[in-house]
Structure 1
Amino acid sequence: MVLNSKYPSVADLRQKSKKKIPKFAFEYLDGGCNEDVNLYRNTSELRDVQLEPNYLKSHKNASLKTNLFGVEYDAPFGIAPVGLQGLMWPNSPEILAKAAFDHNIPFILSTVTTMSIERASELTQGKAWFQLYHPTEDRLRNDIIKRAEAAECPVLVILCDVPTFGFRPRDIRNGLAMPPKMSIKNILSVLGKPHWTYETLKHGQPNFETLKPYMPKGMDLRQLGKFMDQTFSGRLNEEKIKPIRDMWKGKLVLKGVASEYDAQEAIRLGLDGIIVSNHGGRQLDAGQSTIKPLSRIAEKYGDKIEVMMDSGIRSGSDIARSLASGANFSFLGRSFMYGVSALGKTGGDHTISLLKTELKQVMDQLNCESVQDLPKHLIK
């Protein structure tokens, strides 16, 4: 695919996205929690990682192909789970799932996004991963897992970093819900974004499509918040993970690992992979940036479990930094949402192509022929 030369970086896509979507949607996408300290720490400390080139070493063409869980992907990165995607840009999960399938990279569907498990499977021919928010009732948990199995999802991702909802002042001010509270401020913001409004009318009001079978009909905003609080409990422990491990025959991944203790527990409980992540800086403002525990965890446990990373990654250079620091694979969330919000139906293809181009340039510059060799270029 030929890149759109107007948007040669994720930063350009972010600026265009800010102009295209209502303020409440952009602030939900762009913001962290509390004072955004860890949001910015994620990116800044990742970019402190430096790589060393070997210019006189013989070099063939760099390959981005990467094997993960027995599957060869065309690049070492995928699309992270993001909630409320259709609120930020109508039909965006469908756009991103198609793009991921076309480029042969993983797409992870969130429980609380606006596309169903079944639709994700249809668009990706059974290759979409599914991320489960842990339900309070075993019956609901079992039913959702059975649906993911029937949809042939190869990987189930469970979250450990949402024992509480992050304190996000912007979302509180904006009255963010599903659908958003239509205050005068929000109405004016919507009226100022005609393309977003047209696409929303075209595709219809976004809903939690995976959860629709379990939600009472005619639910208003107040009832929706109560339903979500009563239906999901984000606090994971051994007692909750063991039944999932017993039930799920595919690969099982724990997302939100930020300590060596949790990594060790994941290995003990028989999980296949971990995603070192701090939820994009949206949960614990006083926590570390993701790159810090990644390096320690990868060094200590990288030979025992698949170690992946998300949070703070915004470019092909950032992907190279994360892989050089020990991750076997990287995931990006905001970057893809900036892309699809900025460019609509071509945003997924453009963003994937952009990241591939940037990563390959870094590898060619380093004289690094495979992503597995990137750790050899890490300056410690």
Structure 2
Amino acid sequence: MNPDLLKYNPQYPSVSDLKRKAKRRIPKFAFDYLEGGCNEEINLWRNEADFRDVQLIPRYLKKHFGVDMRTELFGHVYDAPFGISPIGLQGLMWPNAPEILAKAALKHNIPYTLSTVSTSSIERIAEVTESQFWFQLYHPTENKLRDDILRRLEAVQCPVLVVLVDVPSFGLRYREIKAGLSMPPKMTINNFLQAAARPAWAFETLRVGIPEFATLKPYMGKDLNLSQLGKFMNATFTGRVDADKVKALRDLWKGKLVIKGVVCEEDMEESIRIGADGIIVSNHGGRQIDAGESTIKPLKGLADKYGDRMKIMIDSGLRSGPDIGRSLACGAHFTFMGRPFMYGVAALGREGGDHTIAMLKAQLKQVMEQVCCEKIGDFPATLVSK
């Protein structure tokens, strides 16, 4: 047995194993929220499928002196070239999930990214990560709210602001519509029965408390009911985040600024003009546009043309250590994953963050040994060109 397997639960050696376990542990409405994509979910499928077409060259007769996964990014040396993507309503999938994952990220020295619409606050995540976290901003329609969120981030010394640009309108996700999910979720009779059928999730939710938008709580009226809260969310975060809005953020934000959702050269050129420090090639996990391209497809072209001008990262579709390697071989400087970590926490609770990180490290190490990479920067030489 690979000794690295002993560092985590060997019953769940893959993301697929965690996903199956998670599906049995959490209510259907929560799993559908996590798992669903836009419209017919074609791009959700394409994101994963297109990774399988990327092939690497194994080298066995070349000398190899070990594996070093450490990766420098924005002045910080991380222990692995992957981080945890932001996911909204994480506490819906498993109670206290943001804190579980943030603590695991700190322990393993990888970045955790908090979403504006997650279920833990900026201040709490800053506390559990010693301020070593990233923040993904859903740009508010009002600059007053934007400025106050930035003030809070500066107060806790958050180093990286990720500006989300791929949600000019909310995606039509049929699973959520059928389940009656909204922002925030409504507990219908059907959803209540689903929750009752998952006692571990239900008891832990009762212990921790009903999830809420913790970062946004100071801006919501105390007496808002569910219907009014949904209207608040729609009114506060609907609208296109164009270059002018991002430029205004660049002028205000003194830390590193990353633009998430860039998939074409036109937006890449605009990101450079704005003065962004990096971009994340992303299609929101296939949750926004079903007719779009997978993320791995445009990555290599963008990395070849712009990789020496700014940091290029990727999320959406990665499910394994080999997928991390494939991304790095195509020119990514760093990678992010969302669903795999949520599967881990939903499957294994408090141990899920540690398990998933250790599992991905072991998988990536094995790939590096096979293709004779000693460091992350060696990966592009292993790519099979077609």
TM-score by structure 1 length? 0.99
Q: Give the equivalent residue in structure 1 for 2:48.
A: 43
Q: CA deviation at 1:233?
A: 3.2
Q: Give the equivalent residue in structure 2 for 1:117.
A: 122
SS of residue matched to 2:186: coil
Question: What's the RMSD between the two structures over aligned residues?
Answer: 0.9
Asked if the contact 1:260–1:293 (Cα under 8 Å) also holds between the matched residues in 2, the reply is no
For residues 75 and 162 of structure 2, what CA distance do their matches in structure 1 show? 17
Note if 1:91 corresponds to 2:99: no
Q: Give the equivalent residue in structure 2 for 1:28.
A: 33
Q: Give the equivalent residue in structure 1 for 2:229.
A: 224
Amino acid of the structure 1 residue aligned with 2:153: A
**What does 1:44-83 align with in structure 2 at a 5 Å threshold?**
44-83=49-88
Note if 1:132 corresponds to 2:150: no
For residues 148 and 201 of structure 2, what CA distance do their matches in structure 1 show? 34
Note if 1:339 corresponds to 2:344: yes
Amino acid of the structure 1 residue aligned with 2:246: I
Note if 1:187 corresponds to 2:196: no
**What does 1:172-211 align with in structure 2 at a 5 Å threshold?**
172-177=177-182, 179-211=184-216
Deviation per residue, 1:150-172 (Å, 9 max, x gap): 11110000011000100001111
Deviation per residue, 1:11-32 (Å, 9 max, x gap): 0000000000000000010111
Note if 1:367 corresponds to 2:372: yes
SS of residue matched to 1:257: coil
| Stretches of structure 1 lacking an aligned partner (at least 5 in a row) | none
Percent identity between the two aligned chains:
62
Asked if the contact 2:87–2:115 (Cα under 8 Å) also holds between the matched residues in 1, the reply is yes
**What does 1:135-146 align with in structure 2 at a 5 Å threshold?**
135-146=140-151
Amino acid of the structure 1 residue aligned with 2:362: T
Amino acid of the structure 2 residue aligned with 1:163: P
Q: Give the equivalent residue in structure 1 for 2:254.
A: 249
Q: CA deviation at 1:177?
A: 3.0
Deviation per residue, 1:34-74 (Å, 9 max, x gap): 00100010001011100001111110111110000111000
For residues 85 and 234 of structure 1, what CA distance do their matches in structure 2 show? 23
Deviation per residue, 1:216-253 (Å, 9 max, x gap): 11212211111011111341112211221111000000
For residues 239 and 364 of structure 1, what CA distance do their matches in structure 2 show? 46
For residues 210 and 271 of structure 1, what CA distance do their matches in structure 2 show? 24
Q: CA deviation at 1:296?
A: 1.0
Asked if the contact 1:177–1:221 (Cα under 8 Å) also holds between the matched residues in 2, the reply is no
Note if 1:275 corresponds to 2:283: no
Deviation per residue, 1:290-339 (Å, 9 max, x gap): 00111111111101110000000000000000110110000000000000
How many residue pairs align between the two structures? Answer: 380
Q: CA deviation at 1:178?
A: 5.0
Deviation per residue, 1:200-228 (Å, 9 max, x gap): 00000111000000001121221111101
Asked if the contact 1:160–1:234 (Cα under 8 Å) also holds between the matched residues in 2, the reply is no
Which is worse superposed, 171-180 or 246-255?
171-180
For residues 174 and 37 of structure 2, what CA distance do their matches in structure 1 show? 9
Residue number among 311, 319, 325 corresponding to 1:320 in the alignment: 325
SS of residue matched to 1:40: helix
Note if 1:378 corresponds to 2:383: yes
Which is worse superposed, 103-112 or 219-228?
219-228
Amino acid of the structure 2 residue aligned with 1:202: R
For residues 59 and 173 of structure 2, what CA distance do their matches in structure 1 show? 44
Note if 1:287 corresponds to 2:295: no
For residues 216 and 312 of structure 1, what CA distance do their matches in structure 2 show? 37
Q: Give the equivalent residue in structure 1 for 2:3.
A: none
Deviation per residue, 1:242-293 (Å, 9 max, x gap): 2211110000000011111111110110000000000000000000000011
Amino acid of the structure 1 residue aligned with 2:66: N
Measured at CA, do residues 176 and 280 of structure 1 come closer, stay the same or move farther in structure 2, by a change above 3 Å? same
Q: CA deviation at 1:183?
A: 2.0
Q: CA deviation at 1:135?
A: 0.4
Amino acid of the structure 2 residue aligned with 1:68: L
Asked if the contact 1:117–1:147 (Cα under 8 Å) also holds between the matched residues in 2, the reply is yes
For residues 238 and 304 of structure 2, what CA distance do their matches in structure 1 show? 32
For residues 130 and 261 of structure 2, what CA distance do their matches in structure 1 show? 27
Asked if the contact 1:298–1:327 (Cα under 8 Å) also holds between the matched residues in 2, the reply is yes
For residues 74 and 280 of structure 1, what CA distance do their matches in structure 2 show? 25
Q: Give the equivalent residue in structure 2 for 1:2.
A: 7
Amino acid of the structure 1 residue aligned with 2:95: P
